């Protein structure tokens, strides 16, 4: 270990112990050996500034701080500038009557021990009441308490079991036909009776291949339907569902029309679902997801309709008239690619002809 490291270790130890004068005496002889252009010199002077400030030798610490402002290291200059602002700040004189003075004679071991004991004894008397009376043996819960808790638990389970999420998926990516999916999720513990009755009724009008059922989910998948078949199928499902809850609503209405263009068709859809007579029971959630062959454009202003590229998510509300209007493009890909290829051929022919014309105007060699 070098002399510098030995002195620095001793100085840091003295500084930590509050022995500022000893730290100053150790570091002062090293000032001439290590200039402010070295890391060692910067470290020595930083320690000296702290020690000198600790014994109220502010003028000397300010002088050293000004020397550090000339260091070649920018971070040292910035730190010295900040320290100098602190050291140059005025000292406020505190009136004598603001201070409480104690005589040194009372600060002894006996006084400290007595103070600690009184401190904890006061807290004990204030917050803890000690009694010598026995509290008796610990008793188990009574039968009545257990019955009440079980009843509450069963009631909560029953109420939560009725929370249902219904999702209708319309896949329009093949414009000639529609694929329809119905998904019913019990969001919590178990299915309620109307769900079970609804599933049993749907089994009667659909084949086993189109249905998937487990403890939490019911899935129905229909493929290759036109718009009229889709509308009739959804209305049939609505009638079965509403029979179980004794409510009547109007049939769903799905309208479609299209506009023909050279490179494709633009389709317009209108869906109207009147649920004014449907109560919102069991926290029922109904959604319709519509998947389009291209980006969807919503034509109605509805905060419950969200789009993500070609997918529309529509939240359907009970006791409301739910409407949606949207459009999308269905491009004629074969015609588009044919047009692109023809344009490339025409462009290549044009370039070839220009090069030929340019070459034919060059001077000819004598024969």
Question: What stretch of H or E contains 365?
Answer: none
Residue 127 maps to a domain: no
Residue 341 maps to a domain: no
Query: Which of 87, 105, 138 finishes a domain?
Result: 87
User: What CATH number does residue 55 fall under?
Assistant: 1.25.40
Q: Say if residues 164 and 189 touch (Cβ distance below 8 Å).
A: no
pLDDT score recorded for residue 306: 93
Residue 153 maps to a domain: no
Question: Structure tokens of 57?
Answer: 């030798």
Domain count, the chain: 2
Q: Say if residues 208 and 219 touch (Cβ distance below 8 Å).
A: no
Name the pLDDT band for 162 (thresholds 50, 70, 90): very low
Name the pLDDT band for 99 (thresholds 50, 70, 90): low
Query: Which of 72, 87, 102 finishes a domain?
Result: 87
Q: How much of the chain, in percent, has pLDDT values that exceed 70? A: 73
Residue 218 maps to a domain: yes
**Do residue 63 and residue 176 come from a single domain?**
no
pLDDT single digits (tens) 275-326: 888 776 656 788 999 999 999 999 988 899 999 989 999 998 888 899 999 9
Identify the burial level of 229 via C-beta atoms within 10 angstroms of its C-beta, where 0-12 means exposed, 13-18 middle and 19 or more buried. Answer: middle
Residue 103 maps to a domain: no
Residue 12 maps to a domain: yes
Mean pLDDT of 198-207: 82
Question: What stretch of H or E contains 303?
Answer: none
Residue 107 has pLDDT above 50, yes or no: no
Q: What is the CA 190 to chain-centroid distance, rounded? A: 31
Residue 113 maps to a domain: no
Average pLDDT, the chain: 77
pLDDT single digits (tens) 213-248: 887 788 889 888 988 898 888 888 888 877 766 667
pLDDT single digits (tens) 122-136: 444 444 455 555 555
**Do residue 77 and residue 167 come from a single domain?**
no
Residue 133 maps to a domain: no
Q: How much of the chain, in percent, has pLDDT values that exceed 90? A: 16
**Do residue 212 and residue 79 come from a single domain?**
no
CA within 13 Å, CB half, 13: 7
Domain that residue 269 falls in: 160-334
pLDDT score recorded for residue 289: 94
């Amino acid at each position: 270990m070098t002399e510098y490291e030995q002195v620095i270790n001793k100085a840091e130890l003295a500084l930590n112990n509050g022995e500022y004068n000893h730290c100053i005496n150790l570091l002062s002889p090293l000032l001439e050996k290590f200039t402010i252009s070295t890391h060692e010199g910067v470290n020595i002077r930083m320690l000296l500034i702290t020690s000198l400030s600790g014994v109220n030798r502010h003028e000397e610490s300010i002088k050293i701080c000004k020397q550090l402002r000339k260091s070649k290291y920018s971070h040292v200059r910035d730190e010295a500038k900040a320290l100098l602002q602190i050291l140059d700040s005025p000292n406020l004189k505190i009136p004598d009557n603001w201070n409480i003075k104690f005589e040194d004679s009372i600060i002894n071991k006996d006084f400290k021990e007595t103070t600690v004991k009184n401190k904890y004894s006061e807290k004990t008397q204030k917050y803890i009441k000690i009694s010598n009376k026995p509290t008796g043996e610990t008793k188990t819960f009574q039968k009545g308490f257990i019955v009440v808790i079980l009843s509450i638990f069963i009631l909560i389970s029953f109420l939560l079991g009725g929370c249902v999420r219904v999702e209708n998926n319309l896949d329009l990516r093949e414009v000639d036909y529609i694929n329809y999916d119905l998904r019913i999720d019990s969001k919590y513990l178990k299915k309620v009776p109307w769900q079970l009755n609804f599933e049993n009724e749907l089994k009667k009008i659909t084949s086993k291949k189109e249905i998937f059922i487990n403890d939490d989910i019911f899935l129905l998948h229909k493929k290759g339907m036109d718009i009229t078949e889709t509308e009739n199928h959804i209305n049939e499902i609505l009638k079965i569902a509403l029979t179980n809850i004794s409510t009547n609503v109007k049939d769903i209405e799905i309208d479609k029309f299209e506009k023909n263009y050279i490179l494709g068709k633009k389709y317009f859809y209108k869906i109207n679902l009147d649920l004014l007579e449907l109560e919102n029971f069991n926290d029922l959630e109904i959604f319709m997801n519509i998947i389009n062959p291209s980006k969807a454009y919503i034509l109605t202003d509805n905060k419950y309709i969200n789009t993500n590229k070609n997918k529309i998510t529509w939240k359907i509300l009970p006791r409301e008239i739910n409407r949606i209007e949207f459009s999308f493009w269905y491009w004629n890909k074969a015609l588009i690619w044919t047009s692109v290829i023809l344009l490339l051929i025409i462009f290549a022919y044009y370039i070839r002809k220009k090069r030929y014309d340019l070459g034919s105007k060059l001077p000819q060699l004598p024969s």
